[in-house]
Structure 1
């Protein structure tokens, strides 16, 4: 498996991409479960899921316990959804977190996470605090965390039972 994560910065977006050792359906199932978001979070700001469905779908709301210096809560809504291919959510401030999946060969999926402030209600305020560039490391780490999850799952499945 290739550990390389590429990062792309545009005026209103920052994205990270890597190839993961799992099929799109497996990766999508992992991403659409809010209970997994604390393990995925590149900056560890997501603490735990608090409200919402176990599996996210279009229009679903879900609440998360967060921490950046101080604890807070945020409710997000799924605004884009294509089974096994795309899921995105945003909260009150409107900036979007998008995950895109593309099968590159059986059992391997290109995973791309994008932080997009192009849909934000206050994009100028977000730019003042250094976004989207400030999320370069976060999206890269989030994608690495997803890749590591499937690397660990694959290596655990290949180990002989005791």
Structure 2
């Protein structure tokens, strides 16, 4: 699986052997994000509904070196097709779901080009770090839902 970095975005795709509704249900439940987070930074959800809707907020305990808390805001939502959120810096984490014969193609995107600090994010090498995290997240989703036979 290869991640692409271009135009202020990092993205990769993988297929899981589950219908989009099942994948979306997991992605839309912030209390389960730690189950598939490939970055290792999501510790637990401290606030938020069990099924996100457009405009909802949810708080997360994170750890990148030191522990901290962050509040995310749902900025895109098309049930069973797309969900995205951002925090105060405005970079967007997006998941797009496409039905395919084997199940669902999941595309995760880190869109830092729309953030408040795109040049700083690039200078700090976050796109490269997030490329690995995205690949690891997609692998974890395959672990949860299964992957098509090669």
Unaligned runs of 5+ in 1: 153-162
The corresponding residue for 2:126 is: 131
The corresponding residue for 2:18 is: 22
Pairwise CA distance, 1:118:
1.4
2:37 aligns with one of 38, 41, 56:
41
The corresponding residue for 1:114 is: 109
Pairwise CA distance, 1:6:
3.2
Unaligned runs of 5+ in 2: none
- Do residues 99 (structure 1) and 89 (structure 2) align? no
Pairwise CA distance, 1:147:
1.1
Pairwise CA distance, 1:75:
0.2
Pairwise CA distance, 1:126:
0.9
The corresponding residue for 1:141 is: 136
Q: Take 2:43 and 2:55, find their aligned partners in 1: how far apart are those partners?
A: 22
Q: Take 1:40 and 1:119, find their aligned partners in 2: how far apart are those partners?
A: 25
Q: Tell whether the 8 Å contact from 1:116 to 1:132 is kept in structure 2 after alignment.
A: no
Q: TM-score, normalised by structure 2?
A: 0.94
Larger radius of gyration: 1
- Do residues 66 (structure 1) and 62 (structure 2) align? yes
Pairwise CA distance, 1:132:
1.6
RMSD: 1.3
Pairwise CA distance, 1:131:
2.7
The corresponding residue for 2:51 is: 55
How many equivalent pairs are there?
Answer: 147
Q: Take 2:48 and 2:129, find their aligned partners in 1: how far apart are those partners?
A: 28
